[in-house]
Amino acid sequence: MSRPSIVPIALTLDDRTGYTLWAPPWEEDGEEWQAFLGSTVDVPADINDDDPEAPGPTAVVHLFPSPAALAAFCRVSTDHDLVDHPVWPVVSTLGAADLTPDEDHRYDLDGVYDIVAENPDRWAVEELAADVDIVGRLAECCDTTGDEDDEDLDDDETSFEAVAELVSRPEVAALGLGVGAFLGRSGEESWARLGTAVDELWEDVLEELDEHLDWTGAGTVSANDYPSAAEEAEARAADPDDDEDDDEVDVAPADRPAAGSTAASPAQASTAGVRTVRSGSGLTATPAAVAAAQEFWEAVGILPVELVVPEGAGVTLRCYVDDRARFLGRDGQVFVFPTPVELARYCAGDEAHDLTEIASWPEVADTDTMPLPADEDRYDLSALAEVLAEVAGGAGGLVTHQALAQPAEGALDLAEYAGLPRVQQQFGPGAALGQAVARSETEPTAPLSGEDAAVLAAAWSDVLADIGTALVFRSDVER
């Protein structure tokens, strides 16, 4: 049995931010479950309603104005739906730093309209997919319609009609395929339909959801205690080290089941894994140095990238032109340098390459800012090969599909620039690797089985072989 976990998350809705906990899908006694930090409460009738009627027992998710308030509640309260979760004894002892969400678990539901108004780059698609996913999970856990003992109810009846309609749209389902689903003429049309669906349904989605969000911290705070989006951004800017990387808490499963939890529901995916994917990176820059460098590189729109492949490791540059990846290189060959210093020296030279024509290239050639890749632009393709071999060799269930996402992104960008059709075919919707990567978007915590890993390992080996032909490791920079 895979090991369960609990993850802190932040939701921004109606210009206020609340913190809570999410237990990703886990398995107990042959059933799969997921849950949020919530409970069932009796909601009073709305006196402003034309036909006021108490909705009766309602599943709600408790939100808190800060990680500290969330931690304080967890230390003393046992009246909620996560108290029987196997990890809860550990979570109840954690402080605010451990219960602070990372960037991947912050969901700005107010910002969805702005996202669909943008061009469909990978960041917009990933953020929108995450927002829709968490809304769907909240609806699934809070929807008790199917639990009612009423023969007149249809099996598919739900109190989240707008959510159900939104997630049923094919263009919404396409979010799980990544930015590639929204490129080209047909992709642009799909993105436009996605924007129309959001315009039509998102307000209703948020209204349905808000009925199940407790903005009183289970009665511990008032609505005025929650920070606005501007206040939250200002506070985080003042304390940039607030986010913690180790936001998932994993322990061995306990014997007691979580069934009967009022905010828990059977889930569609499996649980988070416990195998740590170790990087073969040779970079040693501090997070503070990387963050300082990123200000320049993001401003010029050309980002440093680290690649780790069986042939070696190094850094290069990448940008996107008309939503297509373009690397520092020439004629489909990517130039890779052993250190950021050597890359910077090359950029200051006058050798022609495919980034020379980028409008901001003169700024790159003149800068003394080191090309230090951010975490999201570091691709260890060799580590994935090792992990897949481990899973195929008997470590099934200890690695999740999420391990595929970032290496696949790097491989696809390289294949796009270098013109590697066999790599692109491996990531097609009918190929095993393509299907697994798509699942990494929709069910990132689903574990990889040994049987699947064996197939994926063979496919990934072919990907690495083709990508190796497109990389030129440069160490001939004139000093």
pLDDT tens digit string along 136-173?
A: 999 999 987 755 544 554 555 678 899 999 998 888 88
Please identify, among 221, 251, 266, the residue that sits at the C-terminal boundary of a domain.
266
Residues 325 and 200 in one domain: no
Q: Note the pLDDT of residue 43.
A: 62
The answer to whether 460 and 433 are in contact (CB under 8 A) is yes
The overall longest dimension of the chain from CA atoms, in Å, is: 81
Q: Are residues 295 and 420 in the same domain?
A: yes
| DSSP-derived secondary structure letter, 420 | -
CA angle centred on 354, ends 348 and 359, rounded to 5°: 70
What angle is formed at CA 308 by the lines to CA 305 and CA 313, rounded to 5 degrees?
85
Q: What are 300's two structure tokens? A: 């010029």
**Counting every residue, how long is the chain?**
479
Q: Print the domain residue range for 466.
A: 273-479
Residue 260, pLDDT score: 29
Residue 415 and residue 304 share a domain: yes
For the chain, the domain total comes to: 2
Report d(CA 97, CA 241) in Å as an integer.
10
So what's the pLDDT on residue 479? Answer: 41
The single-letter code of the amino acid at 63 is L
DSSP-assigned beta bridge partners for residue 16: 13
Answer for the pair 421, 388: CB distance below 8 angstroms, yes or no. no
Query: Which ranges of the chain have pLDDT less than 70?
Result: 1-3, 43-56, 146-157, 236-282, 284, 395-397, 476-479
The answer on 204 and 323 residing in a single domain is: no
Cα 136 to Cα 130: distance, rounded to the nearest angstrom? 10
Residues 346 and 202 reside in one and the same domain = no
CA nearest neighbour of 423 among 468, 393, 455: 468
CB-based contacts of 50: which residues, under 8 Å, 6+ apart? none
The C-alpha torsion from 279 through 416 and 466 to 421, rounded to 10°, is: 140
- Sign of the alpha-carbon torsion through 330, 335, 340, 346: negative
**Whether residue 52 sits in one domain with residue 73:** yes
Indicate whether 235 and 277 sit together in one domain: no
Q: Which stretches within 265-309 are classed as H helix? A: 287-300
Q: Are strands 5-13 and 249-250 parallel, antiparallel or unpaired?
A: antiparallel
Listed in sequence order, the residues at least 6 apart from 52 whose beta carbon sits closer than 8 Å to its beta carbon are 45, 46
Residue that terminates a domain, selected from 266, 283, 305: 266
Tell me what pLDDT residue 476 has: 53
Looking only at the bridges linking them, the beta strands covering 265-266 and 213-214 are unpaired
Phi, psi of 294, rounded to the nearest 5 degrees: -60, -30
In tens, the pLDDT along 194-247 reads 999 999 999 999 999 999 999 999 888 888 889 887 777 777 666 644 444 444
Does 262 share its domain with 331? no
Q: Name residue 41's amino acid.
A: V
Reported for 361-368, long-range contacts at CB under 8 A and 24+ positions apart, including other chains, are 361/302, 363/300, 364/300, 364/302, 364/317, 367/296, 368/344
C-alpha angle 101/236/300, rounded to 5°?
Answer: 100
Q: Which amino acid is at 239?
A: D
CA distance 34 to 354: 48
Is residue 213 within a helix (H) or strand (E), and if so which, with residue range?
A: strand 213-214
Report the alpha-carbon distance of residue 172 to residue 159 in Å, rounded. Answer: 20
Radius of gyration of the chain (CA): 24
Whole-Å CA distances, 22 to 19, 91, 99, 442: 10, 12, 11, 16
Could you tell me the end-to-end alpha-carbon distance of the chain, in angstroms, rounded to an integer? Answer: 56
CB 425 within 8 A of CB 435: no
Same domain, 182 and 281: no
Which residues are paired to 303 by β-bridges? 318
Residue 279: the pLDDT is 47
Domain limit, last residue, from 266, 298, 318:
266
Find all residues with CB under 8 Å of 121, minimum gap 6, and list them: 179, 320, 323
* Distances 229 to 10, 127, 154, 222 between C-alpha atoms, Å: 11, 17, 40, 17
Do 240 and 327 have their domain in common? no
Instruction: Please check whether residues 183 and 38 belong to one and the same domain.
Output: yes
Nearest to 277 by CA among 445, 411, 399, 442: 399
Euclidean distance between CA atoms 446 and 440, whole angstroms: 8
Judge if 246 and 327 occupy the same domain.
no
Q: Which residues contact 36 (CB under 8 A, 6 or more apart)?
A: 20, 21, 22, 23, 61, 81, 82, 137, 138, 141, 142, 263
